[in-house]
Homo-oligomer: A and B are copies of this chain.
Amino acid sequence: MRGVVMHAPGDVRVEDREDPRIVEPTDAVIRVAAACVCGSDLWPYRGVEEVAGRPMGHEYVGVVEQVGDQVRDVKVGEFVVGSFFASDNTCEICRAGYQSRCVHAEPVGALGTQAQFARIPLADGTLVATPGMPDADLVPGLLAASDVLGTGWFGAVAAESGPGKTVAVVGDGAVGLLGVLAARRLGAERVVIFSRHADRQRLAREFGATDVIAERGDQGVAALKELTGGLGAHSVIEAVGTQESMMQAIRSTRPGGHVGYVGVAHGVELPGKELFFSGVHLHGGPAPVRRFLPELVELIWNREIDPGKVFDLTLPLEEAAEGYKAMDERRAIKTLLRP
């Protein structure tokens, strides 16, 4: 089959890779209907993470082709959405809603879903089937559920977005934008996005943002405080993962408020004393997308939300390199790849 491999920073190629097959009796193999490039794929692309011959991709929707002997619930021919961590969905950690830290968790990213086919471990725990074969226009939304929507949603939940709250969002990538959507769906009264890009501001407003702040860092914090009677937001979603964005998120939050951080922290060191005196709640990590998938699939299926709007570039799988480049150069928010 054909699949994406990153050989070095900036060097993305589509190559012949071995066809995936059932390895464990709990596996499934899916024919990938759509995959995409994640903001986190840009870390190795930009040389922030090491990379040498890595199959890429951890977001996916597709049709089940084969299942292992112990797969009970997932059926061949079903259209399925999964998360970037395979999970058994039965252990104590999964039952508490932290499937990305399942005691048997396996990163799907290691298998590379930017490809024609993918092996998905722990299929019964990991995959959620749609009610039927989706219309073509629903596919991007379902694909978004597998990571960016699920991650933005977790950020909004971790930040305790809800009725009466002012929620601020640090980061105007796909996750931040879908954090806006999630915060509104969860009932937030006011949603403020930090963004200096007109196209992203527009999409943020479409997803329900009520205010936009173009300043960053401490100036951004000052602008937010001015909007919130000097107190800061009740809830802040952090969707970048740098030192600056984390500090901006913490400083934007009022005492007793909640920071939900979902940007993969790179080179971040949190100063203990400042954190202590901030009095905020801090929660985040790799999103337990599986917790939210049934609800998100239903919302998308019923056309109540359209997270697929974050894809502003669609390319054939063979042109994956251009998809990475467009995101790296911020010409695209998020690239959908069609195998």
**Interface positions of A (Cβ within 8 A of B):** 92-93, 96-98, 100-101, 103, 229-231, 241, 243, 246, 254-256, 261, 264-273, 275-286, 288
Contact = CB atoms under 8 A, between A and B. Distances in A.
A156 to B, nearest CB: 15
Given A101-B279, A279-B101, A272 B246 contact: yes
Nearest to A105: B255
B286 A256 contact: no
A273 B277 contact: no
Majority-rule SS of A interface residues: mixed
A96 B281 contact: no
A255 B100 CA distance: 9
A32 B96 CA distance: 48
A127 to B, nearest CB: 21
Contact of A286 (B241, B265, B275, B279): B279
> What is the total number of copies of this protein in its complex?
2
A206 B230 CA distance: 45
Given A97-B256, A256-B288, A270-B270, 13 more contacts: A93-B254, A93-B256, A98-B256, A241-B272, A264-B273, A264-B276, A265-B272, A265-B275, A265-B276, A268-B273, A269-B272, A277-B285, A279-B284
Contact of A265 (B103, B273, B285): B273
B268 A278 contact: no
Contact of A270 (B267, B269, B277): B269
A101 B278 CA distance: 9
A240 to B, nearest CB: 12
Given A279-B285, A281-B283, A282-B281, A98 B272 contact: no
A207 to B, nearest CB: 25
B275 A270 contact: yes
A269 B275 CA distance: 10
Nearest to A284: B276
B231 A279 contact: no
Contact of A273 (B266, B271, B282): B266
Nearest to A259: B282
A272 B103 CA distance: 22
A93 B286 contact: no
Nearest to A265: B272
Of the candidates A266, A268, A276, the one having the most CB atoms from chain B within 10 angstroms of its own CB is: A276
A157 to B, nearest CB: 12
Contacts of A265: 272-273, 275-276
Contact of A255 (B98, B264, B268, B282): B98
A243 B275 CA distance: 13
Contacts of A281: 281-283
Contacts of A279: 98, 100-101, 284-286
A86 to B, nearest CB: 15
A273 B103 CA distance: 19
